[in-house]
Amino acid sequence: MNSFAEANLREACQMYAVANTPLFLTRRLQENSVVQEIANSFSGDQILQEFRNATAHPPESLLDYTRPYVYLVALSKLPNSEYLRAANIQGAEKWRWLPYLKDVLLQTYIPLSTSNLLGETARLSPSYAALTRTDSPIVRANAPVENR
């Protein structure tokens, strides 16, 4: 993905349209592959700028209502929380769930580390990353005898 315009947010819009609680919307967006692709394709600064642009003007369509939620969840998937913390919500009355979602995402934020596995970049939680380090006691204990 080279630009935010390429992101197909149709599924996210459908989620927003049927969401009856902010937590339902959050969970569904966290599972959405487009949200993950945005988090993987753009820097925190770029996503934060899109979030600010999306909340800077009154929403006129379902897509306009949905974008800030998508970008906020994408910010929560970055390796550190500084961008999520910097996502100040302008006109919160237009996006009534955004302040609550931001609080939930910050409270449940798990820092991630990035690792290169077989040529693919993967984001790992610290506990999983510790389990997969070659110098980890767990990995050494389970290694074949000739590798110990």
pLDDT in tens, 66-89: 999 999 999 999 988 999 999 988
The residue that leads in pLDDT, 58 or 134, is 58
Residues 6+ apart with CB under 8 A from 147: none
Place of tokens 């379902």: 62
Among 32-41, 82-91, 108-117, 137-146, whose mean pLDDT is lowest? 137-146
Enumerate the domain spans of the chain: 4-109, 112-148
pLDDT of residue 147: 46
The dihedral formed by the CA atoms of 55, 57, 62 and 65, expressed in degrees to the nearest 10? 20
What DSSP character marks residue 134?
Answer: T
Cβ atoms of 95 and 54 within 8 Å: the answer is no
Give pLDDT, residue 111: 72
- pLDDT tens-digit map of 89-126: 877 678 889 999 999 999 998 876 555 555 555 554 44
pLDDT at residue 148, as a whole number: 46
Number of residues written out for the chain: 148
Supply the pTM of this predicted model: 0.74
- Residues sharing a CB contact under 8 Å with residue 83, sequence separation 6 or more, in sequence order: 44, 45, 47, 48, 75
Q: Is the pLDDT of residue 128 over 70?
A: no
| pLDDT greater at residue 103 or residue 133 | 103
